[in-house]
Amino acid sequence: MNMKKGILADDLYLRKAIFHLLSPDMLMKELGGTRFNKASRLLAKFEEKEIKPVKEMGRKSLSKSNYNGERIILASYYGAGNEPDAKWIKKELQKEGIMVDVYFYSYEELHALPLEDVDLLLGEQLSYESDVYTYLSAYKGNHSPLAHHFPINKREETEVEALSFWRSTEEELIQSYGHIHLYRIIQSAFYPSYVKGVHINALGWVDFTKIWYRES
């Protein structure tokens, strides 16, 4: 969610309403596919704390917000399941009276736009082997949805990075409903039964140095 400028930036109740009106469990149930486990943090190991979405809380928060029927812009890129996800988000929010316009672009086109003018960005964030690099990529990477909507004053404070800092930063943004983690996807590979030692890394690539073949 855009915490730099626009309708969401200064309205905690509206951000809170959007969070509570979107159920990752229902999203996974309705859309299926590789959506296999809901997410509440960038890294699964830190998911001991969770704010669970509650519809009634969302409706109460919406009534306390300054929202007055304005169109909220959601942008994403084609592929990676973003189209059905975005349409599902639009459907769920519009059922509760929050009007959403969805726009899809190619990946290159999206990141050429002035994304600070978009209210909602939908995309993926990789979890790398390095915890610190995962956070740096998410909050400072040029192609990260979070980085484009990250408050400027917070970005200026992050020249000395540490995992504890990034975890506390994530916690602060979650408590202020600055962004929503939806779900994790399951990765898989198809290969003949005689191929052994197949391992997939965080980028979804197979480590070919570990592959071996069993003679039939």
Task: Please write the tens of the pLDDT for every residue from 151-165.
Answer: 765 555 555 557 788
**Does one domain contain both 132 and 210?**
no
Name residue 15's amino acid: R
Residue 33 has pLDDT above 60, yes or no: yes
**Does one domain contain both 64 and 156?**
yes
According to the model, what pLDDT value does residue 192 have?
78
- Pick the more confident residue, 67 or 184: 67
**Does one domain contain both 88 and 113?**
yes
- List the domain range (segments joined by +) for residue 168: 12-185
**Does one domain contain both 30 and 107?**
yes
| Lowest-confidence pick of 26-35, 64-73, 157-166, 176-185 | 157-166
According to the model, what pLDDT value does residue 97 have?
97
Within a domain: residue 3? Answer: no
CA 32 to chain centre: 17
Within a domain: residue 195? Answer: yes
**Does one domain contain both 95 and 167?**
yes
According to the model, what pLDDT value does residue 153 have?
59
Task: Indicate the number of domains in the chain.
Answer: 2
Residue 55, C-beta contacts closer than 8 angstroms, at least 6 positions apart: 20, 21, 23
**Does one domain contain both 205 and 100?**
no
- For Cα atoms 98, 52, 28, give the angle at the middle one, nearest 5 degrees: 75
Contact 137, 210 (CB under 8 A): no
Say how far apart CA 181 and CA 185 lie, in whole Å: 12
Span 76-96, average pLDDT: 94
**Does one domain contain both 152 and 197?**
no
**Does one domain contain both 209 and 179?**
no
Say how far apart CA 86 and CA 68 lie, in whole Å: 22
According to the model, what pLDDT value does residue 201 have?
66
Task: Please write the tens of the pLDDT for every residue from 193-208.
Answer: 777 877 776 656 777 7
**Does one domain contain both 94 and 198?**
no
**Does one domain contain both 126 and 151?**
yes
Span 64-88, average pLDDT: 94
- Pick the more confident residue, 137 or 98: 98
Element (H, E) at 178: none
- Tell me the pTM: 0.72
